[in-house]
Amino acid sequence: MTPIPALPYEYELPEQGVALIVIDMQRDFLEPGGFGDALGNDVGLLRAIVPTLQQLLAAFRAKQLPIFHTVEGHQADLSDCPKSKLLRGKGDLKIGDLGGMGRILVLGEPGNGIIPELAPLPGEVVIPKPGKGAFYATNLASLLEEKGITHLVITGVTTEVCVQTTMREANDRGYECLLVEDATESYSPEFKQATLEMVRAQGGIIGWTTKAEEIIKALS
């Protein structure tokens, strides 16, 4: 174990048994014409973390540590999309509608793909998920168990929705979760800050937070 600076106190990073989770860095959320844009968000805010994520990916790849990417999306017939989710919101486009990059949040459509700058390499698992959390209705839990993973380094978007939901799911399953402050982002900066404070409150009730440089330094 390597102790690294974190909040609310040092995080013990193991040499093995740790995986990087990159949540929903997909075109629908990060590029103009996608779902995030249709909901009236400034998608440029999310792109700020791309260089940091590239560095983290390089560090984990250099150590041949497991990397899991997720994408939020649904089957073409939307059979796995609850009616409540499908109808919610008042944006110009809804899930399943045809947007600038194909049908919104539908698996296999161009907009559902991970942005090229963070494209998964062979051997890196991509988890399609119909919900906000990466554990709901996916095989992530069994894959982590197969690899003997006990510690998760969590990144991606958006901090207060899919990232926080995944971290809470993981915490309930016994994983030691570390959220990377400068490798997660929100369309609303105040929501990101609130989430960081929530997960590390009360002695790390959900987990820890730290900067990417601390993890990269420990891995090197």
Using DSSP's 3-state secondary structure scheme, residue 49 falls into coil
The C-alpha angle with vertex 180 and arms to 212 and 157, in degrees rounded to 5, equals 125
Active site residue 217: no
198: its two tokens: 């929530």
70 strand-pairing partners: 23, 127
CB contact set of 81 (below 8 Å; sequence gap of 6+): 74, 75, 95, 96, 130
Task: Identify the active-site residue in 162, 177, 182, 192.
Answer: 162
Using DSSP's 3-state secondary structure scheme, residue 78 falls into coil
Active site residue 129: yes
Active site residue 177: no
Of the candidates 154, 190, 206, 177, the residue with the CA atom closest to the CA atom of residue 49: 154
Task: Identify the active-site residue in 37, 81, 94, 129.
Answer: 129
| Inter-residue contact 118 to 22 (CB < 8 Å) | yes
Q: How many CB atoms lie within 10 A of CB 146?
A: 10
Residues annotated as catalytic are 24, 129, 162
